[in-house]
Amino acid sequence: MEPGEREILILKYYSHMSNAQIAKKLNIKEGTVRVKLMRARQRLYKLILKSDSGSE
């Protein structure tokens, strides 16, 4: 996972920041936050699936 993806997930789910707060902190548009969150969640999902399939 790329550092930017990790950062946005941490801000959202560990720091409990809203999309607007994340946008302000990272100096990006709120729509960009939504897109980056979606992509980061998709990548995380694929990583989890990959790691689960390797444990059999």
Residue pLDDT, tens place only, 14-47:
999 999 999 999 999 999 999 999 999 999 999 9
Number of Cβ within 10 Å of residue 47's Cβ equals 11
Q: In 3-state terms, what secondary structure has residue 48?
A: helix
Burial of 48 (0-12, 13-18, 19+ CB in 10 A): exposed
Domain holding 17: CATH number? 1.10.10.10
Query: In the predicted model, is pLDDT for residue 56 greater than 60?
Result: no
Pairwise CA distance, residues 55 & 9, whole Å? 25
Domain total of the chain: 1
Pairwise CA distance, residues 55 & 13, whole Å? 27
Query: In the predicted model, is pLDDT for residue 8 greater than 80?
Result: yes
CA atoms within 13 A on the CB side of 47: 10
**Range(s) of the domain holding residue 23:** 3-53
Quote the pTM value: 0.83
